[in-house]
Amino acid sequence: MDASHVESDLVDVLFTEEQIQARIAELAAQIEADHPVVEGQPDLLIVGILRGAAMVMADMARAFSRHIEMDWMAVSSYGSGTQSSGVVRILKDLDTDISGRHVVIVDEIIDTGLTLSWLTSNLSSRNPASVEIATLLRKPEALTMPVDVKYVGWDIPNEFVVGYGLDYRERYRNMRAIGTLAPHVYGG
C-alpha cells in the first residue's frame, strides 16, 4: 500500500520506501562487516521480533551478500492495551539453539526499551557468542530502560508512527513508507 492511499490518516511521511531500502542495505553491510565469515563457524543468526519486524527482516536478509540464518520470536509487554504492562512474555520462542552463535536481534522500532532490554538479557543467558540489536527506528526520548543498540537506522521524535511493519490496531503495516499517524485516527 502506498502512503497516498491513506494520506488523510498521516501528518507526514518520514521515510519513503526508497530511503528505507537504502538504509536497510547500509545496516546489513555494517552488520556483515562486523561479523566476517569464519571457516568452521555457524552462519550469523538474525532474530526477528514478530510481527512488526517482518518487513525489516525480509529486506535485511535479502541485502546480505552471504549466507545468514533467520529465526523469529514473538514477545509481548503490552497485554491488551496500548500502554506497556511492564511484564514481558514470550509468545513464540526460538527454534534455534544459540549457544556459541553470534546473534543480531532485528526490530522495527525501539520505544521504551523494556522489551528489548529483557529480551537481550534472556538471550544472553543462553550462552551465545554475542547478542546485538539492530533496529530501523529508535525513539530516544521514549526510552525508560537502558538498551545497547549497535545498529540504528534513524532516531525519530516520540511520535506515533506507522507503516513498514508498524501498525495501529493491525492497520498500516503494509504501507511501504513510514509516516506519523494523525491524532484524529487514534484519538491522541
Whole-model pTM? 0.93
Q: Identify the pLDDT of residue 87.
A: 80
Q: Identify the pLDDT of residue 81.
A: 46
CB 78 within 8 Å of CB 85:
yes
Cell of 162: 506507522
Map 59-113 to HEC letters. HHHHHCCCCCEEEEEEEECCCCCCCCCCCCEEEECCCCCCCCCEEEEEEEEECCC
Q: Identify the pLDDT of residue 83.
A: 53
Q: Identify the pLDDT of residue 88.
A: 86
- Look up 148 and say whether it is catalytic: no
Q: Identify the pLDDT of residue 123.
A: 98
All structural domains of the chain with their residue ranges: 18-158
Q: Identify the pLDDT of residue 116.
A: 92
* Tens-digit pLDDT profile for residues 115-147: 899 999 999 999 999 999 999 999 999 999 889
CA–chain centroid gap for 40, Å, is 29
- The segments of the chain whose pLDDT lies below 50 read 80-82
CB 173 within 8 Å of CB 51:
yes
Give 138's strand partners: 110, 155
Q: Identify the pLDDT of residue 122.
A: 96
Looking at domain 18-158, its CATH class is: alpha beta
In single-letter form, the type of residue at position 47 comes to V
CB 45 within 8 Å of CB 103:
yes
Find the catalytic residue in 9, 59, 107, 111: 111
Q: Identify the pLDDT of residue 76.
A: 83
- For residue 165, the tally of other CB atoms under 10 A from its CB is 27
Q: Identify the pLDDT of residue 26.
A: 98
**Which has the closest alpha carbon to 153: 167, 165, 135, 166?**
135
**Which has the closest alpha carbon to 150: 17, 35, 55?**
35
Q: Identify the pLDDT of residue 85.
A: 57
**Exposure b/e, 3-40, CB count within 10 A at least 16 = b:** beebeebbeebbbebeebbebbeebbeebbeebeeeee
Q: Identify the pLDDT of residue 86.
A: 66
